[in-house]
A and B are shown apart, each in its own frame.
Chain A
Amino acid sequence: MSEELIVARGLTKKFGDFTAVDGIDFSVYRGESFGLLGPNGAGKSTTMRIIGATSQRTSGDITILGKDPEKFGPQIRAHLGVIPQKDNLDEQLTVTENLYIYGRYFGLSPKFIKGKVDELLEFAQLEEKRDAKVESLSGGMKRRLTIARALVSEPDILMLDEPTTGLDPQARHILWDRLFRLKEKGVTLVITTHFMDEAEQLCERLIVIDRGKIMAEGSPTDLIKRYSSKEVLEVRFGSEKNEEIAEKLKDKCERLEVLPDRILLYAEDAEQSLEEIMKSGMHPKTSLVRRSSLEDVFLRLTGRTLVE
Chain B
Amino acid sequence: MRKVAPAGSRLVLEARLTNMKKFATIIFMYSFANPLLYLLAIGAGVGTLINRSSGGIDGVPYLVFLAPALLANAAIQGSMDETIFPTLGGFLWNKTFYGMNATPLGGRQIALGVYWAALVRNVLTVVSYYLVMMAFGVLKAPHAWLAIPAGILAGAAFGAVMLAFAGNVKNEDHFFTFVGRFIIQPMFFLSGTFFPLDSIPLYLRWIGWISPLWHATDLGRYLTYGHDIPISLVWIHILFLVAMIVVGLNLAIRAFEKRLAK
Contact = CB atoms under 8 A, between A and B. Distances in A.
Interface of A: 52, 54-56, 65, 67, 72-75, 77-80, 82, 84, 86, 88-93, 97, 101-102, 104-107, 149-150, 153
15 contacts: A54-B102, A56-B261, A78-B103, A80-B102, A84-B95, A84-B98, A88-B98, A89-B94, A92-B22, A93-B18, A102-B99, A105-B104, A105-B105, A107-B4, A149-B99
Contact of A107 (B5, B18, B262): B5
B14 interface: yes
A interface: dominant SS: loop
Contacts of B41: none
Contacts, number: 87
Contact of A106 (B5, B14, B95, B262): B5
Contact of A97 (B1, B8, B18, B100): B18
B179 to A, nearest CB: 22
Interface of B: 1-5, 8, 11-12, 14-15, 18-19, 22, 94-106, 260-262
B103 A93 contact: no
A219 to B, nearest CB: 29
Contacts of A102: 99, 103
A150 B103 CA distance: 9
Nearest to A54: B101
| For the complex of A and B, 4 pairs with smallest distance between CB atoms | A107-B5, A82-B102, A105-B103, A74-B104
A79 B98 CA distance: 17
Given A84-B98, A86-B95, A88-B96, A74 B261 contact: no
A90 B94 contact: yes
A104 B15 contact: yes
Contacts of A104: 11, 14-15
B19 A93 contact: yes
A101 B14 contact: yes
Contacts of B100: 105
Contacts of A93: 18-19, 22
A178 B228 CA distance: 71
A89 B99 CA distance: 7
Contacts of A72: 1
Contacts of A89: 94, 96, 99
A107 B94 CA distance: 22
A244 B14 CA distance: 68
